[in-house]
A and B are shown apart, each in its own frame.
Chain A
């Protein structure tokens, strides 16, 4: 989870906010992926404006949640989504 990296949706993937978290739609299939992340990540995070550390900062500030726990969960989620081919990293440098 680098401060020089943002995350974008892979080609053909869309995402929207749901009560349980995020719903991803991958037109290669098409396939759905339900991510029970609750309020941890907004769908607009994947437009690439925030880095992951900035996301953690903003979530901690908004919800008063423990930073280490938030950071660890965000990290796990991003790895999972990368593994599933739903997002990719992009360097901001």
Chain B
């Protein structure tokens, strides 16, 4: 992707991650937004329509819809219809357990992509993270989607538990006619508590980097640019896109740089009561994010491949922005060399 244009920041996001609810029928131990129970202040249907209107007026091309479980919202499909009327593509991230034939029929639209989350290729491994019975229900949902030829990806968060099952998960996705996507685990939401025992080791991250090079068809949603080899450079962005081509809207309408930085200090504004364009263009949070430079990484041989990596991981683990991503490939190689006595 043309970083020279992205680095300067675009006139509006290309993609907005919109977490439409905190409610969820599951209680995954690594949930990025600590979702589950109902919380006060979630946007009403009318307010959601205003958010869609604002994004349409700013020529945002795409929503990445998440939560919570989006299908818990009774008005969810109507809201998606409204976004599609405005020409906005919706990439819906779901646990798949609520998808039945009726919902699958309504999702059969050219502007819909579905991502179903699985953390293992068997009930045993998946349900350890996502809860009892979730694997069976998600597979049922996937079958309804397959029956209607709806384009779907299986998404797995890379953890110590899912790492050994990547090949089996890729095979499961293929058997369902789905694409396979792996995304990075971040210590936000309930991920803060489970980070220490679920985050992959540096050796696993190195092995995963090689695995990705052997599986060029596996997508990553640009979440592994700091650990991928040069051969995947052309597949996506090689820098953090927050505040440059993407941002996040929370279930209560707060606007953040990304889904993993939904902290008070990063709140740039609130929808729909504030206009979106000035939040994007002029908020001090977004401006400072665009100017963020990971200076200590500039001498690294991999700097052009990752530009310092994921600021959210640096923030959550090191309590500061502007520091190198501790899970980047260069850090992993250094750690491995030290561990094996190589200088």
Identify which of B11, B61, B87, B111 contacts A18 (C-beta below 8 A): B11
What are the residues of chain A within 8 A of B89 when measuring CB–CB?
27, 30
Q: Mark B71-115, 1 if CB is under 8 A from A, else 0.
A: 000000000000000010100000000000000000000110000
What are the residues of chain A within 8 A of B10 when measuring CB–CB?
18, 23
Query: Are B110's CB and A16's CB within 8 A?
Result: no
> How many contacts between A and B, using CB within 8 angstroms?
35
Let me know if A65 is at the binding interface, CB within 8 A: no
Let me know if B190 is at the binding interface, CB within 8 A: no
Let me know if A14 is at the binding interface, CB within 8 A: yes
Let me know if B234 is at the binding interface, CB within 8 A: no
Query: Are B12's CB and A12's CB within 8 A?
Result: no
What are the residues of chain B within 8 A of A36 when measuring CB–CB?
5
What are the residues of chain A within 8 A of B61 when measuring CB–CB?
14, 25, 27, 30
Complex: A10 Cα to B252 Cα, angstroms: 36
Q: Mark B32-46, 1 if CB is under 8 A from A, else 0.
A: 000000000000000
Complex: A32 Cα to B110 Cα, angstroms: 17
Smallest Cβ-Cβ distance to B8: which chain A residue:
A19
Let me know if B270 is at the binding interface, CB within 8 A: no
Would you give the shortest CB distance from A25 to chain B, in whole angstroms?
A: 4
Tally A residues with Cβ within 8 Å of B.
14
Let me know if A17 is at the binding interface, CB within 8 A: yes
Let me know if B59 is at the binding interface, CB within 8 A: yes
Let me know if B339 is at the binding interface, CB within 8 A: no
Smallest Cβ-Cβ distance to B11: which chain A residue:
A18
Task: Given A20-B5, A34-B5, decide whether A14 and B87 contact each other with a Cβ distance below 8 A.
Answer: yes
Query: Are A16's CB and B59's CB within 8 A?
Result: yes
Would you give the shortest CB distance from A31 to chain B, in whole angstroms?
A: 9
Smallest Cβ-Cβ distance to B91: which chain A residue:
A30
Complex: A18 Cα to B281 Cα, angstroms: 13
Query: Are B110's CB and A12's CB within 8 A?
Result: yes
What are the residues of chain B within 8 A of A30 when measuring CB–CB?
61-62, 89
Smallest Cβ-Cβ distance to A15: which chain B residue:
B59
What are the residues of chain A within 8 A of B111 when measuring CB–CB?
27
Query: Are B62's CB and A19's CB within 8 A?
Result: no
Let me know if B14 is at the binding interface, CB within 8 A: yes
Would you give the shortest CB distance from A19 to chain B, in whole angstroms?
A: 7
Query: Are B5's CB and A18's CB within 8 A?
Result: yes
Query: Are A34's CB and B2's CB within 8 A?
Result: yes
Complex: A23 Cα to B244 Cα, angstroms: 14
Further pairs besides A19-B8, A32-B1, A32-B14: 5, Cβ < 8 Å: A14-B87, A16-B11, A27-B61, A27-B62, A36-B5
Query: Could you tell me which A residues sit within 8 Å of B by CB distance?
Result: 12, 14, 16-20, 23, 25, 27, 30, 32, 34, 36
Instruction: Report the 8 A-B pairs with minimum CB-CB distance, sorted nearest first.
Output: A25-B61, A16-B59, A34-B2, A34-B5, A27-B89, A20-B5, A18-B11, A14-B61
